[in-house]
Structure 1
Amino acid sequence: MRLHALSVTAFGPFGGSVDVDFDRLGADGLFLLHGPTGAGKTSVLDAVAFALYGVLPGSRRENRRLLSDHAEAGVAPRVVLEATLGGRRVTLSRTPEYLRPKRRGDGVTKQNASASLVWEDGDGENLTRIDEVAREVERLLGMRVDQFFQVVMLPQGEFARFLRARTEDRGALLEQLFDTDRFSSVEQWFAERRRAGADALAGRTDALDRLAAQVATAAGVEHAVGDDVVDWATGLAEDARDRVVVEQARLAAARADHDAARIAAADAHRRADARRRGEAAQAALAVLSAGRADRERRAEELDAAGRAEAVIGRLAAYDAARRRADRAETAMTAGVDTAARTRAADVVAALSWPPSEDDAARLDAAVQDWSGEIAVLDGVAEVERHRASADRDRRTALDRVRELTETLADARARLDAVPADRLRLDAELADCIDAAAALGSAESRRAEAAAAVDARLERRRIERRLAEAVETADAARRNCDELRARWLDVRERRLDSMSAELAARLTAGEPCTVCGATEHPRPAVRREDHVDLRDEREAEARKSAAEADEVSARARVEHLRETLAALGPDDAADSAALAERLDAATAEVVRLQERAVRREAVASARAALDREADETAARITAVSAELASTHERLTALETRIAEDTARVESAIGPSASVADRRRGVEEAIDAALAVRDTRTAAAAARTAADRANADVDDAVTEAGFAGRAEAIAAARTAEARERLRADLARAEREEAAAGAALADADVAAAMADGPVDTDAVDAVDVATREALDRAVASADEAERRSRQLADLTAQLWSVADAIGPLQQRQQELEALADVVAGRGANARKMSLRSYVLAARLEEVAAAASLRFRRMSEGRFEFVHSDEAGPRGTRGGLGLDIRDDYTGVVRPAGTLSGGEAFCASLSLALGLADVVAAEAGGVTLDTMFVDEGFGTLDAESLDAVMGVLDDLRSGGRTVGIVSHVSELRDRVPSRLEVMRGRTGSTVRVHAPAI
């Protein structure tokens, strides 16, 4: 990596734009970056780091506010770096995230960060995405951002802390610089394999335990076995098989006993049942004999009921005929009453009862006359329908005449109003045209009023900010005066304490550095208020920082005053008047806009009014013609209605209508026909009833009864007759069955023998059946247990055969995992990752010792230690100092300030060499060393500069960041950073190339 040029704008302390030509500065291989405290020396390195990686080094990485406080409003911060990375020249441009003033109104808005990478050789696609630029820079440099800050920019104080750091902190830094992820992955892989193997072995062991527990449960024993669980299970399985043989023998004996008992019980129950049937038959015959007389009486009752059945049927037919005759006579009476209310009343009144031969002829003649009248009325009905249709047409025509009259009146009224509407629209259209013409000047007046209000608001905002800035500047001045007084006081006390410091360096017999005397009778003594160089420098640093703050605050006040002056003189009107003028101008613009925008609508309305007038005139003509024709049609309809009315009235007489007249004639016809039919039906029904009565008397005589009452008393219902027949048949069947039962051979033998005791044989049968059930259950349980134990024993054999190799592999895997993790047979007790870091630290110590011995003129070198830290902390990361003057290895904390700086610088350079080699031999043509030279004496400074001279050999450029004045004489090429009220600037001092 080689830097060529850097351009910085509005970044950090640089309010404007500054340019740095690294090719010119680094022509000699060594240049100095110097300037007063707080001027921005480190900010130059921050700009380089930000251009490459988009972040700042060290603790400044969290600082997101990179926009310079000295920058003009609206100026964007920007860093542009030209460099050669990975053998290719590129231009990197970055803009950080910052807050800029809003383009409209007060306040600020966030501007997002941006980045770009341009290939100067033109080969490849330029990049504009932040993530793509970051990945490409990391690929070209071959190192991550943390590695870059430790290798290229050796930050002040970082390696002094690394030198004195605890083992854990030193290991954390080394893990950032060296990629140990793959070694961590190896450790994790072994740990995961160890856990997986242990889980697998535990699973197999658990399976063996579960099977053993299942064997114990199946065998019904306690789960307490020896070392060989398989032999124990095999013995239990063999015992179970022996138990099956014993239980099968018991089952065969129990089944034979039960068969014999079952046969004996069946024979006893057969004989007992035959005796019970014989006794039941004897009892049934005795009961049937006692009820014989009752059965004979029921047989006679059944015979009389059969003879009475024919008489009851004739009586039922007579009752039905009589009821029909009564109903027919009732219907005849109702028909006569109905006819009396019609035109047939006179004809019906002349009829006789019983009917004569002339009655039917008289009714038929009247019906024939009325039918002829209906034919005449049907012809008149058509005329009446035509009159009703004409009347409906007349009413419709009257409605249309009224509607057309109203429409004609409305159209004429609308046509009369058109001239006034036309005049109104013409006036409104002229007003809209005038408003559109005046709109431009009104908008100009509103813009002037708005500009005056904005200027007043901006002036008030700047005045408030100016007052705040003045107050801040006064506070900064007071703080600066206070810190300056403190610094002068500390410096005065430092001068007073200088003699005590010199006296502390005196050695008996050695010459004094001031007077050269070898005797020191009264050396100065350190006072209680002694002040050393560190106290003086701290006070000076605080004073310089306060001066910078005061300069920044005063610059902001001047900037705000210039901004206020640039706004020009204030308007004489007060704010209320300006606001009122703006409101009035705005209201006028709105009013004119509303009027102007109606121009097209009014013109359209004017054209529509003309079209409406033409359409209304045409509609008046059409409506007038239709109204005249409707009047003519109405007159014709009224003439036709009068003619039809005269014809209908002559036909219907006093009736309301033809339909009413026809309905009366139809009612008379229906009544006459109904009387004729009902009289005929009543006479026939009465004749049938008399004939049915005679049939009843004949049936009583034929059945052999003395009269109708005797026949009715003997009658029975069908259900009663069926019950009598069933009772008689059942008695006959029971008598026959009892005789057959007594004739059976088994029953006869049982009745001859004595009673049979079945309880005893049943008890024996139950006992043998229960014994058989128990034997079956025992045999089934023995077979089930034998099969289960045989299956579980086979599974135990399989699991036991697989556990042995697993145990051996797991022991080997655990031993390897312990070694990788720093336990077990690992003699150094170092994990694989710690071992790799220790090896890297050993390389760093060797590389740093080469430079440290030269800087200390062969006195000091680094010593790497593999010993574990206190209380079991990680080993292999110890770093001490060997002093060749004494041969003692001592902690780095015992070095003096200058010695510690040389050690830190040597360590930083050694670490840079190792990290560069780790990154694939990256060539670092440019590197920076930040601060620390103030702690060196002249001889040590010479030694350090000699080492830095070696670094620039081979074309490497080394930049030294320091404010030590002696370095300005040693290094001719310099980049001077100068601070000012408006921000810092740079100046390049370099010999001409």
Structure 2
Amino acid sequence: MKILALRLANLASLPGPLELDFTAAPLRDAGLFAITGPTGAGKSTLLDALCLALYGSTPRLRQAPVRDASLPDVEGETLNTADPRTLLRRGTASGHAEVDFLGRDGRRYRARWAVRRAREKASGRLQAAEQSLRDLDDDRLLTTQKREFDRLLPERLGLSFDQFTRAVLLAQSEFAAFLKADDNERSDLLERLTGTAEYSQISIAAYRRAHHAKQAVDALQARLADDLPAEPEARAVLERTAEATQQALTHLQNQAESLQARQRWHDDDDRLQQAHRQGLAQQQSAEAAWQALAQQRADREWRQLIAPRRHALARQAALPGEIATLEATHAETQQALDAAHSEQSNAATTLSQAEQALTDASNARRQADPALSEAREQAQRLATLDKQLADLDTTRQQQQTRADALAEAYRQASQSQQARQRQRDDWQAALKRLVGTHSRLDEARQAAQQAHDNAAQRQLALGELTSRWQEFGRTHLAQHRLAEQIQTHQASRDQLLTDGQAARQRLDQAEGHLASVSALIERSRAVRSDSVARLRENLQQGEPCPVCGGRDHPWRQQPPATPEAAQLAAQEAEEARQLSDARQARDTAQQQCDSLLGEYRAVEAALAQGLKEQDETDRRLASARSALEEHPLYAELAAVSEAERDAWLHAQRDTSETRRQRERQILDQLAHAEAELAPLEEALTQGKLTLTRLEAEKASADKQLADVTQQLPPLREQRESLAQELAERLGDHPTPDAWQQQLDARQESARQARDQALAKQHSAEQTRQRLDQQVTYAAEQLDRLRQEQASLNQELDTWRSAHPKLDDATLTRLLAQHDDDARAEEQRIGAADQARQHAAATLAERRLALLDHRHGQNLIDDETEDEGESALLTTATEAEIQRRRKALDDTQATLEPRLNAAQQERDDALHALRDDDRRRERQQAGQRELDAARAEYRRWGQISELIGSADGKLFRRIAQAYNLEQLLEHANLHLNGLSRRYRLVRGGSPLGLLVEDHDMADERRSVHSLSGGETFLVSLALALGLASMASGELVIESLFIDEGFGSLDPQSLALAMEALDGLQALGRRVGVISHVQEMHERIPVQIQVEPLGNGTSRARLVNT
């Protein structure tokens, strides 16, 4: 993976547009470049733009709160602080970030993130961010959809967001804190750096699962204890009570059922009697409705008589109106015919006048044709002259513009030529100053190179001398510290010998006491069984007991049921206590002896190791002193006092470095001057040629301008003369086309008038013929209707005389009645007849049902039995039924409270029994749940015991120990490439770190003993190791390091620069973000971010 280009506009403090092309010089040739600028200028915004274009977010935004934190925007809108759109500059309508990169498949891609406001105005509402991915090799747009972009980009780039922030944006500063942290802090940092927080979550989850499982067991046990079923005896009582209450309830329910049967008979009688009354009322109502339709029944008979003649009667009534209407229509049609004759005569006159007007217009059109042709020809010549004039004027303006442009180009070229001459003179003067007393440039360059090499060699020798002197100092200091440790161990050993002897004496005393107590107890137990009763008989009030020593003897007056057992238990308890105390004292003394013995052995081992290390340290000190004295510059160092040697070495190295840099600067200036002079000489030669060419082109342009200017006046005079002749010929007409249009319009208007008159005459003729036909048809229709009227009058008069009772009013009313009304009346008569018959049948049916219901109930006595069925419907029978009903109600009222009480007693007994059943079922189910909960608790308890903790620390430290092992494996590979002296190893604690120094016989040192430069070196190796873990086998060719250099001293900074040079030597392009001035001076290619004020900065690429 390799970053090829970065572009941005209107992000944070950078308005842009800004483009950083890593495929073009100087970034293409720079393996190491710096992003510089003061704090807050916007250096990190470049990395934000890189992440925005690729992932639509930044590491800083991912850490912002996503809730309860917002920023105000335009029109009262707010934005969440984690929203990447907050990076859009205030007061701008749009912004974007764009990255070109080389993917894992070797193809070039372009990722783009853009945001804009509505209507492209700074006051518009922010729209949703847009992301797109393009294949640059095929110039093919892959996607513009966010979800598809999020899927495609990691596939093409080879890294997810988290992997990118670890593999490309190196967390060197976080690893500096990682080195100094304790195990807990280191596990937290390692978890965050590697993105493996799931192990803490698993640890917390295991702990919570075990805790919840324990709570579930406790809750089930408490629930079962509060819900115990009845004992067997109580259960038997419940069952007997339930059986007795059920028998009593059944007896009362049988009585109630008998009463309910009698109650149902009375309810049925009431229902049947009510139905009988309703049937009687319905029969009377249907009969009254039938009688009310007497008139309608009479009309039905007349309608049946009139039906055969109904059509003839209706036709006789309608004919007078039809005849009157037709007579009026005939008169109106005759009047219209007379008007049509007059209209036809007028149309003929109008047609004659229109044909004459058309003839006149056509003659005028033919007479104007010759003049029109001449006018048209003159207008064509005039248009040609106008075009020639316009073309010449355009050519003159173009020639004038070209002449002016050539003059301006000549002026600018002259100024550029003069500037280049001044630059050449300046560089020649600078080169002369650099050459100085040397006769030739080559001699000056060789002298500067020789001085530079001498200074560099002395710098290396001083560095080696410093290393040997420091090694000698460290070894000497180690020897002194080791002697102090040996002395301390010897003193500790002597003290432990004294303490051990005292502890041994205490152990012997405790063992003797334990033996005496044990023997005494054994003798007491041997005689106890025979003397307990005798001792109790001899107890005296207020005197001490010979066994326990107490003066209160409760068992003497009221001895227990088994006094020997109770007193024996008290005696054995006291003996057990004494024996336990003796054993505890013996065990304590034994533990003290064991502890002191362990400490003594540890001190002995440490003392032996110290003596061994002292011999090794003496050997190393002699070797270091020999190496120091053999160094070529030791004589100079020996001339300086030991207290001032460190300062002398530092000053000598600074002096050598200053001399080397000065000579390096001279060499660079010589090369730069030579590189600048060659193109300047070439540019001066080209400038002379350009001035000559521009001068010749300007002279040619001035001549062409003069020629065009001379052609314009005669052409304008010719045009004015021709325009005057054309105007005289046209007269009031503006153009020949307008003249011809007027003549054509007059002719066309006359033709349209002639056509309209002809059409009007034709229409009048058609109207007259149509009205003639209508008058004839109306007369024929009148004769036919009059004949039909006479025939119908004769036929109907004969029929009326045969039915004299049918008067005119009835006939008129029935004829006027609508067919729907007649049918509705027929339906009402039929429905009334049907209802009358149905009511009679229903009444008979209900009477029979009531009689059948009352038979066999002893409602009538022997005297009224002869009256037949009618006796069952009398008032006396009704009274007897009511009396029986009242007696039944009284009996039911008495039985109901008894039945309710029995029901309640039975329900209470069953409820108690069923409640006990449910308790038993719940106990069984709860016991199964408890067994399952206990099994679950055992399972999670075992897991929690291994990895669970409330804060996730236990499993996190186990998992991060593995991650640390992997990290160190990758980091040591990079550390070996940066410096072969050091190697990182684990030690001291589960997550402890040590540094193995190969230059000091693989001595393992604490990471806290590292200098600033060494700390940076190790931190950078760890950051690169993390990047390798994150990227897997993907080759990362672009790296960015943000911060971490401000706290380095000059010597540490030099070591850091050597490490960065080692990185670029491995083929990686490294970008360093820092505001440290010393780094700016050592890195020539820089992206300088300069604040301009008002929250605006400018970024520019420089090569110093």
TM-score with structure 2 length normalisation? 0.37
Larger Rg: 1
Instruction: Give the helix-richer structure, 1 or 2.
Output: 2
